[in-house]
Structure 1
Amino acid sequence: MVQRLLLSSLFLCAVAPVFADEPPGGASAPADVKAPIDAQAPVAPAAPPKSAPLDLGDIRAFTAVYSLVKQAYVDDVDDHRLMQAAIRGLLGGLDPHSEYLGKEQMEDLTEDTTGSYAGLGIEVLQVDGSLKVIAPIDDSPAERAGIKAGDTIVRIDGKPVQADDVDSAIAQLRGKPGSPITLSVLHEKQTTPVDIALKREVIRVASAGGRLLEPGYAYLRVSQFQAETGAQLRKRIERLAAENKAPLRGAVLDLRSNPGGLLTAAIEVGDEFLEGGVIVSTRGRIKDSEMTFRATPGDLLAGAPMVVLVDNGTASAAEIVAGALKDNHRALLMGRRTFGKGSVQTVLPLDAEHAVKLTTARYYTPSGISIQAAGIQPDIALADLALSERDSDPSPIVGERDLRNHLKGANEGNAVETPPAADRDLQRDYALNEALNALKALALRAPHAAAAPGKG
């Protein structure tokens, strides 16, 4: 069986053929759309390395405790439950990312890393005991049926959504592709809910997107690293270049609050912006964990400058990309120190429905640095600030022409005011504003090539 490595962030869940990890602080994760995570596919267990014989005293202590629980615990506990707890405790005591995976966890991991699941394409959230629609996914059954952000789902197949059992209602939104479901939806500013009949489909959640901030300057966002992230990013860059009607002069790559994902996806994305050099290397106790991944010729931006935005939520696979672009002097990193998740997990199947996710290696940036628990320090540190509008109008005197009786200029009538930023996010996002300013400065120093070579 082919080995795949799993890079997870702060929290991880998993599934059989592919795996993923949850974003840090995932308490408010959307319901129908699950936040994707880190992932990899199962690998056959390697022969265990030779070690010291097991201490008989430890075996006696374990069996003694086991016996005491069976005899004296307040409730009767069956052997299966105790053995499952012992396995989870054994792995949980190693590090925060090693764990025992049951059938549900393995299914969740597959969904998270592939970015696809069977459902309606609604991002929902529990708000005061009700099921609020955050947003429908483009071209999903929910969007086509007219469900909009701000709507409230009050009944599912005729059964009211109970405030004390919203999780169960959320689970009902998923199901087999093609299966029917009827939602009673209360639209915003309406007093009577309407029944909407839908059919579940396979929903694919895009993990990469982008737009033009200004002519020539692109904003690229990767929310996590899934199987299709590289392809999605390539298509987006090509679309933006076509929209710009000229090669891009530079790009901001936003990896903030990106919890990680597939190692293979991180390598693919890093390779898209590098002409050569090491992307990442991994080292562990077993031979299969010793690997080095190198970039191939071809840069989607043809050498145009890049600024990468990072913060303390940039973790795991996202840190691999940030580290590769920084160490290869391909991009300027701006923001805050990254999370510092520098270990690799491998999923070792036990049977068809159970597996062990085990930390098997550390990864190293191209400069040979382990970022485990240290993170990556940005080239330019930014405070966690937000932009706000003026409380009062600016001074009426903004230039010579505003002074009374000023000397008339020959070109005074041709003076043009600098237009405000067209991108609304730029008006609110301090870090993005600073990144664009830095990108423009870099673009002045580095003339852009005429065409962007592709990867073969």
Structure 2
Amino acid sequence: MVVLRKGILPILFAVVISFAGTRLVACAGPVWPSDDEQRFLEAYRDHVGDTATRDQYDRADKLFVEAVQVLSDTYVENVDRPTFVKTAITSLETLETEDHTPIGVVGAALDDSLHDLDPHSAYMSDEMFRRLQESTEGSFAGVGIVISQDEDKQIRIVSPIDDTPAARAGLQPNDRITHIDGHDMKGEPISEAVRLMRGRIGDAVTLTVLRKEDSFDVTVKRARIEVPSVTASIIDNDLAYIRVSRFDASTLDQTREYLGMLNDKIGGTPRGLIVDLRRNPGGLLDSAADIADQFLSDGLIVATEGRGERKMRSYEADRSEYFKGVPMAVLLDRGSASGAELMAAALRENGRGVIIGERSFGKGSMQRIMPLTAGGGLKITTGYYTTPENHIVQGNGVVPDIEIKLEDEEDFGREVDLEHALPPRRRDPRRVLASMKAASCERDINVTRIGKAATNDAPAETEGDEVVTELQRDTVLECAVGYFGDGQLAVYRDQVEPLLRAGL
């Protein structure tokens, strides 16, 4: 097993580019089809357009054979190659693709077959690689708006981001985008609107906007849009609050900046520290481990486990600890996944913080991005994450110490509810120590935003596919504030803290 020291990672593992801790691994070398694979190569030709060339067929043949070899060598579980190829042949009859080139058909068949293994493995085209790279950099080339889709299936502007082309062009909340460069957007998914609005920096895009009864065109030039992933506040003058909405390449720097500001502005030892990881879907594994390390001076943060429970890598804490000795609460909910779950587990299992909220999503598998010499590449599940106490989050989630039940709780599927989800392995034997309704600990709190958050509500999703809702009273946060004072949860503090320090 290799122990990685964050910040001095070996170059071999330095390129981390995708959602949920995915890593980039290059693949090369000659590949030859087996008899089963040859049957696929013959079968897919019946689904290709008439204009395909010999070179296109050769490239697609190589793509499929190489992909099957890579999958066989690296997937987290043993793959029966003949069965996988048979599934790919069967999928040809029901492919949903508009690209009938050889690469288009083979890529679609691979994608369908990989989804049959687990919901996170997939085939990725070159364009998908580019967009994935953008999503982990914390910035992208676009116009700078937060959008949603309304009940009439129209693209609605929730808000323009300050100091972006959209804001300077005068776009306003509740404007409807009816066309993008002439493309009718009525009924189109948000992902299509995102695709059309993004592009190269400096290139212009024309938006047809409906504002009340008036329709007009706005032409804006795309620019580099920075999307913050961290916000912070001071609550009731002496509680430090920091929210991390995802883990990308810029999250660590933002976190350090805000932690420094909190330390300076509170001007003494805070009464408590709240780290909010609710609705955080994860991101880069290195980023999540690095941010956990800001609160730990030593100890294991996370490890990875591959096929046959073989230990692969581990991440150890090695930094100075912010707010050392200050009581900490970590907020989780059912939307907290992957890196957010690992960070919360690391803080609790190292005796650093109590978890308040809901059991998390349970996405504890690791994917690697593997470029193929024939073009595109595979996103393949290659391992499981393990916590400091060797528990596995996959399928289990992280159980809170103190559970907060929401009155308006709605149905929400977790990882185990996804089709073809990988089965759980070892789970954390912990149980909820206390449970209560959120409404029972409502309290008025004074929230003072700091930094950029003081003037901008910094959305978590920008030109993305998340429907943004109106702000409501945050009763879970109010419960957490009460934990550090005289609220309903304060009665549990003296019981939970000793257990936390003892690692129970």
Same fold, judged at TM 0.5 (above): yes
Q: Tell me if 1:44 matches 2:89.
A: no
Aligned-residue identity in percent: 34
Q: Which amino acid aligns with 1:104?
A: E
Q: Partner residue of 1:148?
A: 172
The secondary structure found in structure 2 opposite 1:256 is: coil
Q: Which amino acid aligns with 1:149?
A: P
Q: How does 1:382-393 map to 2 (within 5 A)?
A: 382-385=404-407
Question: CA 1:386/1:329 → structure 2, altered by over 3 Å: closer, same or farther?
Answer: farther
Q: Is the 8 A contact 2:28 2:373 kept in 1?
A: no
Q: How does 1:109-124 map to 2 (within 5 A)?
A: 109-124=132-147
Q: Is the 8 A contact 1:3 1:42 kept in 2?
A: no
Q: Partner residue of 2:163?
A: 139
Q: How does 1:145-184 map to 2 (within 5 A)?
A: 145-154=169-178, 156=180, 159=182, 161-165=184-188, 169-184=193-208
| 1:365, distance to aligned residue in structure 2 (A) | 0.6
Per-residue CA shift, 1:52-86, capped at 9, x if unaligned?
Answer: xx9x9xx6666667767767999997755553344
Q: Decide which of 318, 332, 337 is 2:354's aligned counterpart.
A: 332
Instruction: Return the alpha-carbon distance in structure 2 between the equivalents of residues 326 and 166 of structure 1.
Output: 40
Instruction: Return the alpha-carbon distance in structure 2 between the equivalents of residues 125 and 427 of structure 1.
Output: 18
Q: Which amino acid aligns with 1:370?
A: I
Q: How does 1:348-387 map to 2 (within 5 A)?
A: 348-351=370-373, 353-385=375-407
| 1:132, distance to aligned residue in structure 2 (A) | 1.2
Give TM-score scaled by structure 1 length. Answer: 0.71
Question: CA 1:281/1:46 → structure 2, altered by over 3 Å: closer, same or farther?
Answer: farther
Instruction: Return the alpha-carbon distance in structure 1 between the equivalents of residues 36 and 281 of structure 2.
Output: 39
Q: Partner residue of 1:273?
A: 295
Instruction: Return the alpha-carbon distance in structure 2 between the equivalents of residues 426 and 216 of structure 1.
Output: 24
Q: Which amino acid aligns with 2:132?
A: L
Q: Which amino acid aligns with 2:303?
A: S
Question: CA 1:101/1:181 → structure 2, altered by over 3 Å: closer, same or farther?
Answer: closer
Instruction: Return the alpha-carbon distance in structure 2 between the equivalents of residues 360 and 162 of structure 1.
Output: 38
The secondary structure found in structure 2 opposite 1:142 is: helix
Give TM-score scaled by structure 2 length. Answer: 0.65
Q: Decide which of 447, 451, 476 is 1:431's aligned counterpart.
A: 476
Q: Is the 8 A contact 1:106 1:353 kept in 2?
A: no
The secondary structure found in structure 2 opposite 1:20 is: coil
| 1:203, distance to aligned residue in structure 2 (A) | 0.7
Q: Tell me if 1:301 matches 2:299.
A: no
Q: Is the 8 A contact 1:119 1:203 kept in 2?
A: yes
Q: Partner residue of 2:18?
A: 20
Q: Partner residue of 1:106?
A: 129
Q: Partner residue of 1:223?
A: 245
Q: Which amino acid aligns with 1:437?
A: G
Question: CA 1:352/1:216 → structure 2, altered by over 3 Å: closer, same or farther?
Answer: farther
Q: Is the 8 A contact 1:280 1:365 kept in 2?
A: yes
Q: Which amino acid aligns with 2:481?
A: L
Q: Is the 8 A contact 1:386 1:430 kept in 2?
A: no
The secondary structure found in structure 1 opposite 2:484 is: helix
Q: Decide which of 248, 261, 274 is 1:239's aligned counterpart.
A: 261
Q: Tell me if 1:258 matches 2:303.
A: no
| 1:238, distance to aligned residue in structure 2 (A) | 1.8
| 1:93, distance to aligned residue in structure 2 (A) | 2.9
| 1:227, distance to aligned residue in structure 2 (A) | 0.8
Q: Which amino acid aligns with 1:102?
A: S
| 1:3, distance to aligned residue in structure 2 (A) | 4.2
Q: Partner residue of 1:284?
A: 306
The secondary structure found in structure 2 opposite 1:428 is: coil
Q: Partner residue of 1:390?
A: none
Question: CA 1:359/1:154 → structure 2, altered by over 3 Å: closer, same or farther?
Answer: closer
Question: CA 1:61/1:212 → structure 2, altered by over 3 Å: closer, same or farther?
Answer: same
CA RMSD of aligned residues (A): 3.7
Q: Is the 8 A contact 1:385 1:430 kept in 2?
A: no
| 1:245, distance to aligned residue in structure 2 (A) | 3.5
Q: Is the 8 A contact 2:22 2:366 kept in 1?
A: no
Structure 2 gap segments, 5+ residues each: 1-9, 48-91, 410-442, 449-469, 495-504
| 1:166, distance to aligned residue in structure 2 (A) | 6.5
Q: Decide which of 424, 445, 469 is 1:421's aligned counterpart.
A: 445
| 1:39, distance to aligned residue in structure 2 (A) | 4.8
The secondary structure found in structure 2 opposite 1:83 is: helix
Q: Partner residue of 1:318?
A: 340
Question: CA 1:103/1:423 → structure 2, altered by over 3 Å: closer, same or farther?
Answer: same
Q: Which amino acid aligns with 1:171?
A: R
The secondary structure found in structure 1 opposite 2:260 is: helix
Bigger radius of gyration among the two = 1
Instruction: Return the alpha-carbon distance in structure 2 between the equivalents of residues 141 and 352 of structure 1.
Output: 38
Instruction: Return the alpha-carbon distance in structure 2 between the equivalents of residues 432 and 121 of structure 1.
Output: 29
| 1:106, distance to aligned residue in structure 2 (A) | 0.9
Q: Which amino acid aligns with 1:428?
A: R
Question: CA 1:133/1:426 → structure 2, altered by over 3 Å: closer, same or farther?
Answer: closer
